[in-house]
Each structure stands twice: as structure tokens, then as C-alpha cells.
Amino acid sequence: DGSGGSRRPPPLEQSCACGSGEVYGSCCQPLHMGGPAKTPEQLLRARFTAYTYRLPDFLGRTLLAKAQQLAEESDIEAFDKGVRNKRNAADAEEREEILRYIDSYDFSNLVVRNQEPINDMMHKISFGCTIRSRGLRVDGRPIESEILDEQTLHFREVSTFRRLQPDGPWFYDVGEVSYAGKTMEENIQEKRAEREQQEQVEAS
């Protein structure tokens, strides 16, 4: 759809948006095409650029919960068709939710701060980036545009990465998130309240 604009993966020879200094073709692109994440930082950078390049399917399939689900299903000799259909519907809903988030923000300035290896199966990374509001969107069209200013937030997260087996690929498990600045929704609520107060003053 048109809501993503030109937010697509760049030419392979272009600098990767993760800020590694490498070109996309030798940085995040191999992971986006299905290659395994050999290190947690590789996955962190590839997931960041998946937001930048609007790749919701990659974000979904690199979740630990999704990997665990697929591993469990592969152990079932005759996987129930009804359960499969239910899972596919849930995947489609999750994809739309990811797209709504992606299309609401621009993502830039990734900085990997600290890394904390817990053991061979678990690793934590602290990072920050800038996210800038593009406005709440429905079917690619902004809403509340008359009261929504562009909003820039400084996003911080401590991400936990895990793998299912030794020497296996890494997956994203969970993140501890914080913001410096108001969220887009908080900004809308504040501006709506200011507008209503102004209307009351003008009416009195």
C-alpha cells in the first residue's frame, strides 16, 4: 500500500540504515532474505532496519515466541488444519499491527550502547534510536492531523535475545522500553485538551 511511501530496502551497494558503516548487501540484507542471525547484534541491527525498510514479516519470524511455536508444530505428526488456520489468522493480525506501528513513525540514529552476555543461550543489548511521529494512520491516511504536531522521541530499550539450541540462530525475546519525550498518543491527548479548553474560553 501507499502508506510506506519509499520505505523499501535500498540497493545492495547503499549504506545500511543500521549505522554499521557497511553496505546493505553485506550487512542486514542477508538476514532479511532469510539468513540466520549468528550474533545478537546482527539481529538487533536487522530488526531495526526492518522497521526502517518496512519489513513486517522479518520482524514476525525473528520473534522467539514464533520460533518456539514453529518448533512445536514441527513435532506434531499430523498438525490439525483448524489450528493451522487459526495460527495463520493470528499471524495476519500481528502483521497488520506491526505495519500500523511502522507506518506511524520514522526510525533513525541507531546507537548500540552496552552488551551483556548472560550465557551461551541468552544475551542482552542496550540501544537507543530516534523515532519521529508520522501521525496516526488509518488505511495509510493520517488522522487527527489538525491537532498533531510532528513529535520526536528518544527511544531506549534493553533487548533480550535467546536461541533455542547451542550454536543456533538468535531470536528476539523481550525488551524493556523507555522514552525521553511524550508519546504520540500523549501528545494528541494534550493537544485535544488544550483545544477544548480554548474553545470553552472563547465560548464564555
Q: Closest Cα to residue 98, out of 172, 190, 199? A: 172
- Tell which residue, 84, 26, 35, has the closest CA to residue 58: 35
Q: Which of 173, 186, 159 is nearest to 45 (CA)?
A: 159
pLDDT in tens, 108-141: 999 999 999 999 999 999 999 998 877 655 454 5
Spatial CB neighbours of 94, under 8 Å, sequence gap ≥ 6: 60
- 44-56 burial, b if ≥16 CB within 10 A, otherwise e? bbbbbbbbbbbbb
The answer, yes or no, to whether residue 2 has pLDDT greater than 50, is: no
**Cα–Cα distance measured from residue 43 to residue 186, given in angstroms and rounded to the nearest whole number:** 30
Q: Chain-centre distance of CA 40, in angstroms?
A: 16
pLDDT per residue as tens digits for the range 146-199: 444 456 778 899 999 999 999 999 999 999 988 776 655 666 677 778 888 888
How do residues 56-73 score in pLDDT, each as one tens digit? 999 999 999 988 887 776
* List of domains in the chain: 2-203 (3.10.450.50)
Using CA atoms, how far apart are residues 28 and 146, in angstroms rounded to an integer?
A: 37
